[in-house]
Structure 1
């Protein structure tokens, strides 16, 4: 299996930004985890390595990463298959993030900048 190294985490909590109604945060966040991987890696190898990595074992229920955990968010790890993922462009990715982030209305400028 391809070896990858976890190098950094960026956590953006919507609650940390001033929504005019005080509720627009919708209990949402973005948790970005960055990995270093060999230059000769192939996409399927990378997905397999990410799904197998302990940083993927975070149920986002407040306990953080559990190296022996069995969940990723609400998903059972045994049901997460790398071949179920599909490639998307940077433009498509940005559009999905923007649509999701703005689902309850406009974002504060500080949150726009953070995202």
Structure 2
């Protein structure tokens, strides 16, 4: 038998999941801890039958697991935390919690008390929106976060960013109001592996070129761009850029931006993470 499989379609029929979806979201809000059994596994994660909610299908992706923990086997009982609801396919996204030493399969049992440091939450620290208002329809969105304690792995920080409620942002409504989308993409198509390291100088050059490609940046916005975009880029220890994921990852109205540029800035000394998105309407 192959090590990979999909959930039983007779049990998790899409129509059945859709009919139960309002109740699923109500009884499984973001942040609630759940237990369940692994019923199927794929290279990207495991599907989970959530205890007490038979018409809910859980998915814990490998990016929401500590990097040193293997995918659990079918039949394993695990504990996780709801991190968002993927409305387009009616899946409850979970972050698996690590078990105390000696627990079978290296995953949490129902007695696990804490999420590992690698999956600690970022703390939101502020938001700046810069609207060029010069008929280019360009804008820059800046989200600032405080780093959690004792997380040294950049992949874990990127996973924490993707899991944060502020990452659910289509940039057409308020951050957090559209949790299944991020920019032009379905949120569940974005993983830490989608971010490539980029030199800080190169990142600044790219933003400056984008900002002035149609018209000079308005004079009154230049100090704000310097303070909130260029200075943080220069001060960052590491900068990552979200690569273009292509139309296959677009959500139902994705692709409306002429350009979409996203950078994640990590500052170890300042214990900050900054998400910068530069795009247009």
TM-score under structure 2 length normalisation:
0.36
Q: 2:125 is matched with which residue?
A: 7
Which of 154, 157, 180 is the aligned partner of 1:70?
180
CA distance in 2, matches of 1:67, 1:50: 16
CA distance in 2, matches of 1:58, 1:38: 22
CA distance in 2, matches of 1:45, 1:111: 34
CA distance in 1, matches of 2:204, 2:126: 21
Structure 2: gaps (5+ residues)? 1-118, 226-281
Moved >3 Å (runs of 4+):
none
Shift of 1:46: 0.5
Greater fraction strand: 2
- The Cα RMSD (Å) is 1.6
Once the two structures are superposed, the pairs formed by residues 73-84 of structure 1 within 5 Å of their partners are 73-84=183-194
CA distance in 1, matches of 2:184, 2:197: 22
Shift of 1:73: 1.2
* Count of aligned pairs between the two proteins: 106
The 3 A distance-change label for structure 1 pair 101 and 71 is same
Structure 1: gaps (5+ residues)? none
The 3 A distance-change label for structure 1 pair 52 and 67 is farther
TM-score under structure 1 length normalisation:
0.83
Q: 2:157 is matched with which residue?
A: 46
Higher RCO (CA-CA < 8 Å; seq separation 6+): 1
